[in-house]
Amino acid sequence: MSKKVLLNSKEIEIILHRLACQLIENHNDFSNTALIGLQPRGSFLAKRLASILTNDYHVKNIPLGLLDITFYRDDFRRRDEPLEATDTQIDFLIENKNVVLIDDVLFSGRSVRAGLTAIQSYGRPKNIELLVLIDRRFSRHLPIQPNYKGRQVDAIDKEKVIVHWKESHTKDGIYLENK
Amino acid sequence: MKQLSVEHLLGIKYLNKDDIDLIFETANHFKEVINRPIKKVPSLRDITIANLFFENSTRTKLSFELAEKRLSSDIINFSASQSSLKKGETLIDTVNNILAMKVDIVVMRHPNVGAGVFLSKHIDAKIINAGDGTHEHPTQALLDSYSIKEKLGSIKGKKIVIVGDVLHSRVALSNIFALKLQGAEVKVCGPTTLIPKHIESLGVKVETNIQKALEWCDVANVLRVQHERMDVKYFPSTREYTQLFGINNEILDNLGKKITIMHPGPINRGVEITSEVADSNQSIILNQVENGVAVRMAVIYLLAQQIKR
């Protein structure tokens, strides 16, 4: 099993700032925008972006929610391993809001599909955009593309993109692992 | 990743502590779901569930039905009073006919003890016991424990007294199993005629004085006097029962502490519990009903997870 560094912590930091600036470009003061991290792994990215926007770019009161998609997945009972649910924390209505769904890696697009269904339980958004840190090209099962992406990666099916956050691991880092 | 250690939910006695923890964790998520503006998830849209009620039920049946609908499963309902059972059909024939319609999960209430276990040996579907005679009522015990945990933070070390007709109560037996498994201290209190012999062998203590029992406990789970199961007189009169074991504000006010009052329903108001107590802020009876839906969603979801196509 080999492991290659795709992005180190410095590069991740630069990319996160770029993504934050792109969000500001399109959403101004975020008065009608909500960031929604897809649980579990998208939530680290969503929280990090929200903190950069608040601390470095002085955008105040960004609505940040975390969305669990377990009960909306289309591979329930088709996986060998059972799925484990996580918390959903959305304490605002998204009716008529601009929603930015946030996840770390975009692969088949099925998680995002589940997220699109799940978010409807909280109202009818004005529009929904997708932000991902890593976009794996040529691996999509569904017609889903990101509006904002950190880095595009061409990886074959045997390879796996591993994302480490300093909140859950010792430091930030994105690796390509050959199984 | 976690899953249940059992293939069916036939009784609490077949579960372990990890199973109960997993059910409660999953129920927490579903409780959040049923408090959303849109209270439905599509997880079980390819699952069909048969609700077979060979004995009358209101809230358990409604609660299961709602839980199943919130999970987007398809449902067929059956109640004994309107069925071919009256024409002499056996249980296995009835159920096999229903299964021929491609049913994945059977939720069954039956007047005979062990009906769920019997069925699980003969048919190829997940069985959830919704009450078998005077034996077990596992989902009620789970929602009771879940409600206690929600109110008091934990079950371990808490003192719970089960008051009333323990002899005829499947709720009592399942509750005793569930509470002991989670490390609670349990007492039963009621007329000696309604306390089963050898109940101490389950690790519970018997108390015949309601005042002492309530002084000892953190939670009182008050059972219904089940007139329909009593073929002989177990106590001289309902009025005497109320005087000796009925719970009213006067007794509660004199305890010097606030205890939590539970009741699995349906309530005989003015018999085992007064209306003031049932509607007071010490009572979590309606929380039990709400939690019932979340806990049943969790049980159905976790069992459905094991079905492979």
pLDDT of residue B86: 64
A38 vs A79, A86, A151, A165, CA distance in Å?
20, 10, 18, 15
- Please indicate, yes or no, if residue B5 is contained in any of the structural domains: no
Selected residues 129-168 of chain A with any CB under 8 Å from a CB in chain B: none
Same domain, B113 and B157: no
- Residues B92, B110: one domain? yes
Say if residue B149 is in the same domain as residue B219.
yes
Q: Which pLDDT score, from 0 to 100, does residue B83 have?
A: 64
A84 in reach of chain B (CB within 8 A): yes
Closest CA to A7 of A157, A167, A153, A170: A153
Calculate the dihedral angle through the C-alpha atoms of B201, B204, B207, B212, rounding to the nearest 10 degrees.
160
Q: Give me the residues of B, 4-33, that contact A with CB < 8 A.
A: 25-26, 29, 32-33
Are B114 and B229 in a shared domain?
no
In a domain, B4, yes or no: no
Number of domains observed in the structure of chain B = 2
Q: Directed axis angle between helix B115-122 and helix B91-99, to 10°?
A: 50
On whether residue B7 sits in a domain, the answer given is no
In SS3 terms, B128-161 reads as EEEEECCCECHHHHHHHHHHHHHHHCCCCCCEEE
**B1, A76: Cβ pair inside 8 Å?**
no
Rounded Cα gap, residues B180 and B174, in angstroms: 10
Identify which of B26, B42, B71 has the shortest CB distance to residue A85.
Answer: B26
> Does residue A178 belong to the interface with chain B, where contact is any CB pair within 8 Å?
no
Asked whether the beta carbons of residue B29 and residue A77 sit closer than 8 angstroms, the reply is no
pLDDT of residue A19: 96
Q: Identify the pLDDT of residue B38.
A: 85
Residue B1 lies in a domain: no
Q: Compute the distance between CA of residue B145 and CA of residue B309 in angstroms, rounded to an integer.
A: 33
**What is the average per-residue pLDDT within A84-90?**
84
Domain range for B34 is 12-136+289-304
Token pair recorded at residue B305: 């997870």
Average pLDDT, stretch A87-92? Answer: 86
pLDDT at B108: 94
Distance separating alpha carbons of residues B153 and B150, to the nearest angstrom: 6
The minimal CB distance from B29 to the residues A68, A77, A120 is found for: A68
Q: Is the residue at B3 inside a domain?
A: no
Is B215 inside a domain boundary? yes
Task: Count the neighbouring beta carbons within 10 Å of the beta carbon of residue A170.
Answer: 8
The token pair at B2 is 């976690």
What is the nearest CA distance from B308 to chain A, expressed in angstroms? 6
From chain A, the residues in CB contact with B71 under 8 A are 71
Is A114 within 8 Å of chain B by CB?
Answer: no
- Are both B52 and B118 inside the same structural domain? yes
CB contact under 8 A, A78 and B1: no
Candidates B4, B25, B41, partner chain A, best to mutate (most A CBs within 10 A): B41
CB neighbours of B231 closer than 8 A, spacing ≥ 6? none
Q: Write down the pLDDT at residue B67.
A: 97
Q: What is the mean pLDDT of each run of 10 residues along chain B (309 residues)?
A: 89 96 94 89 92 89 96 90 69 82 92 92 92 94 97 96 93 96 96 93 95 95 82 82 92 93 92 94 94 97 89
Query: CB distance from B2 to chain A under 8 Å?
Result: yes
Q: pLDDT tens digits, residue range A100-143? A: 999 999 999 999 999 999 998 888 999 999 999 999 988 899 99
B77 and B58, same structural domain? yes
Domain ranges of chain A: 9-155
- A152–chain B nearest CA distance, Å: 31
Spell out which residues of chain A touch residue B41, defining contact as CB-CB under 8 Å: 71-72, 121
Q: Is B42 on the interface with A (CB under 8 A)?
A: yes
Give the SS3 label for residue A153: strand
CB atoms within 10 A of CB A104: 22
Is B234 inside a domain boundary? yes
Residues B114 and B164 in one domain: no
Region for residue A141 given its phi and psi (left: phi exceeds 0; alpha: psi -120 to 50; beta: otherwise): alpha
Do B260 and B233 belong together in one domain?
A: yes
Write down the pLDDT at residue B82: 65
Neighbours of A133 (CB within 10 A): 28
> How far does B40 lie from chain A, in Å, by closest CA?
8
- Could you read off the pLDDT of A10-43 as tens digits, one per residue? 999 999 999 999 999 999 889 999 999 999 889 9
Q: Other C-beta atoms within 10 Å of A80: how many? A: 6
Using CB atoms within 10 Å of the CB of residue B86, give its burial: 0 to 12 exposed, 13 to 18 middle, 19+ buried.
exposed
Degrees to nearest 5, angle at CA B48 with B46 and B51:
155
Alpha-carbon span A145 to B61, nearest angstrom? 45
Which secondary-structure segment (H or E) carries A77? none
Specify the CATH number for the domain of residue B131.
3.40.50.1370
- The answer to whether residue B309 sits within a structural domain is no
* Residue B9 pLDDT: 97
Q: φ, ψ for residue B185 (rounded to 5)?
A: -95, 135
Asked if B83 and B56 touch (Cβ cutoff 8 Å), the reply is no
What residues are paired with A7 via a beta bridge? Answer: A174
| pLDDT at res. A64 | 94
B244 shares a domain with B254: yes
The Cα B214–Cα B202 span in angstroms is 21
Stretch A158-177: mean pLDDT: 89
| Nearest alpha carbon to residue B104 among B131, B84, B74 | B74
A2-7/A173-178 β-pairing: antiparallel
B211 and B118 belong to one structural domain: no
Is the pTM higher than 0.90? The answer reads: no
Within chain B, how many helices (H) and strands (E) appear? 11, 9
Residue of B7, B29, B30 best to disrupt the A interface, most CBs of A under 10 A: B29
Answer for the pair A130, A147: CB distance below 8 angstroms, yes or no.
yes
Find the DSSP H helices in B34-100. Answer: 59-70, 91-99
Give the CATH fold of the A9-155 domain: Rossmann fold (3.40.50)
Pairing of strands B48-53, A33-38: unpaired
**Which of A85, A86, A120 lies at the smallest CB-CB distance from B38?**
A120
Residue B281 identity (one-letter amino acid)? N
Place of tokens 């998204």: A94
Binary contact (A77, B41; C-beta < 8 A): no
